[in-house]
Amino acid sequence: MKKIGIISAMVILCSCSAKFITPTQVDVDRVSSTYPGYTLTDLNQGKSIYEQNCNKCHGLKKLSSQSEKDWNVVVPEMVAKANKKAGSTIIDAKAQDQLLKYILTMRTPGKKVRAAF
Ligand code: HEC
């Protein structure tokens, strides 16, 4: 019985960390034709912008919860909300770009990303 508890705890831990995969150079290479000049630093920065700002009013949304097209609409709306709530521009244009590219790159790991709509 104890074993089952430990195993299920491990399964839960693994599934949580698998939710937001750590980006690697493989992900950058996968989208390099869509985002020329894109770096792993940009990708990781997008991830931290997401994790630090997008859980203030609701939980972090699964990256796969929206289509690519919807994220293109939702991200600017949510950035505006986040900036308004903070009372200053905590996510500027460059940060918004890094955020959107992170989401689009990691929402379907292993797949190519189309150019912006
Ligand atoms: C100032 C509060 C606030 C912040 C900050 C915020 N959101 Fe939201 N967000 C909302 C509200 C309100 C809704 C609508 C209710 C809901 O779905 O929870 C929403 C909904 C969403 C949805 C669902 C949209 C839909 O049509 O189903 C997504 C995706 C989302 N937010 C992403 C983000 C991202 C990414 C960020 C970080 C930039 C963010 N949110 C930051 C308030 C916020």
3-12 core/surface letters (b: 16 or more CB in 10 A; e: else): eeeeeeeeee
pLDDT of residue 17: 45
> CA 73, 75, 81, 87 torsion: positive or negative?
negative
Which are the contacts of 61, defined by CB distance < 8 A and separation ≥ 6?
54
Residue pLDDT, tens place only, 42-56: 999 999 999 999 999
Relative to the CA of 70, which ligand 1 atom is closest?
26
What are 20's two structure tokens? 């937001």
Amino acid in the structure at residue 105: T
Lowest pLDDT segment from 14-18, 74-78, 106-110: 14-18
Residue pLDDT, tens place only, 65-98: 999 999 999 999 999 999 999 999 999 999 999 9
Pocket lined around ligand 1, Cβ cut-off 6 Å: 53-54, 56-58, 61, 66, 74-75, 78-79, 81-82, 85
The pLDDT-based confidence of 20 (bands split at 50, 70, 90) is: confident
